[in-house]
Each structure stands twice: as structure tokens, then as C-alpha cells.
């Protein structure tokens, strides 16, 4: 499957495919008649890359994670640490948003309370 076909079929942005190729991580990707050809293993790796991007990893973090994944020897702890850090950051964002909602609801409540008092 060519880069264009992979991009269209799996809705993977071209810039992600080009990043993947530039990292030299394309195990079975080979050039046929001047075009990259992806196999199922490459598509699985690309799925992991998309997931990492979706959960907020930077391009540099994705590359580090993928290099560790491909090493496979004793990298579980490092990869788990990266995921734990991302999870902790996501929880912090959620808690911050919860505090924003509480403040927003408080202000709404105050306006409604003032409106109710004005109607009497």
C-alpha cells in the first residue's frame, strides 16, 4: 500500500506518515517503483503513533516511545513511565476544568439569585 493509499484508507495525515518514514522506523516499508509500500506491521505501528498523538504526546515524545517500543528489550518500564506522566497531566487538566466549571456555576448562581431578588 502506498503512502497515499494508507493516508486515505486509514485517515492518517500525510505529515504523520512522513514523520514515521523520516524516523527510519519503517521496518518492512520498502520502496517499489519509487513509492513507499506499507504492510500490516507498519499500519499497526502507525495506529500506535496516532493514539500517542491523540493523547497529547509531542512529536519528539512519540519518536522516543516508538524507538523504545521497537527495542522491546526491557523498555516496558520507560514506556509505562511516559504513559503515567501523560495520564497525570490529563488528570491535572481535568481537575483544572472542574474548578473552572465550579466557578462558572457559582457566577451563574449569583446572577440567578440576584434576578430572583429583583423580581420580588
Look at the alpha carbons of 16, 21, 25, 27 in this order and tell me if their dihedral is positive or negative.
Answer: positive
What band does 117 get if pLDDT is binned at 50, 70 and 90? low
Do 19 and 50 form a contact (C-beta atoms < 8 A)?
no
Is the backbone of residue 13 left (phi > 0), alpha (psi -120 to 50) or beta? Answer: beta
Indicate the domain borders of the chain. 3-119
Residue 36, classed as helix, strand or coil, is strand
Q: Looking at the predicted structure, is the pLDDT value of residue 120 above 60? A: no
* Segment 109-114 mean pLDDT: 93
Q: Which residues contact 38 (CB under 8 A, 6 or more apart)?
A: 1, 2, 3, 6, 26, 29, 46
Indicate the SS3 state at residue 15.
helix
What are the φ and ψ backbone dihedral angles of 36, each rounded to 5 degrees?
-70, 140
Q: What is the DSSP letter of 72?
A: -
Tell me the mean pLDDT in the region 91-97: 97
Question: Average pLDDT over the chain, rounded to whole?
Answer: 85
Highest mean pLDDT among 11-15, 34-38, 61-65: 61-65
What's the confidence (pLDDT) of residue 9? 82
**Whole-number pLDDT of residue 118:** 61
Q: Exposed, middle or buried: residue 29 (CB in 10 Å: 0-12, 13-18, 19+)? A: buried
Question: Which of the four CATH numbers 1.10.1660.10, 1.10.150.120, 3.90.1300.10, 2.40.50.140 does domain 3-119 have?
Answer: 1.10.1660.10
Q: What is the pLDDT of residue 44?
A: 85
Q: What is the pTM of this model?
A: 0.71
Amino acid at each position: 500500500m502506498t503512502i497515499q493509499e494508507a493516508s486515505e484508507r486509514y485517515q492518517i495525515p500525510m505529515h504523520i506518515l512522513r514523520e514515521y518514514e523520516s524516523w527510519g522506523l519503517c521496518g518492512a516499508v520498502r520502496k517499489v517503483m519509487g513509492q513507499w509500500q506499507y504492510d500490516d506491521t507498519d499500519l499497526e505501528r502507525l495506529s500506535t503513533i496516532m493514539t500517542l498523538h491523540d493523547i497529547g504526546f509531542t512529536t519528539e515524545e512519540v519518536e522516543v516511545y516508538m524507538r523504545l517500543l521497537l527495542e522491546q528489550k526491557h523498555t516496558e518500564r520507560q514506556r509505562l513511565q511516559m504513559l503515567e506522566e501523560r495520564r497525570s497531566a490529563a488528570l491535572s487538566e481535568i481537575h483544572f476544568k472542574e474548578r473552572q466549571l465550579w466557578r462558572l456555576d457559582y457566577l451563574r448562581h449569583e446572577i440567578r439569585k440576584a434576578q430572583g431578588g429583583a423580581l420580588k
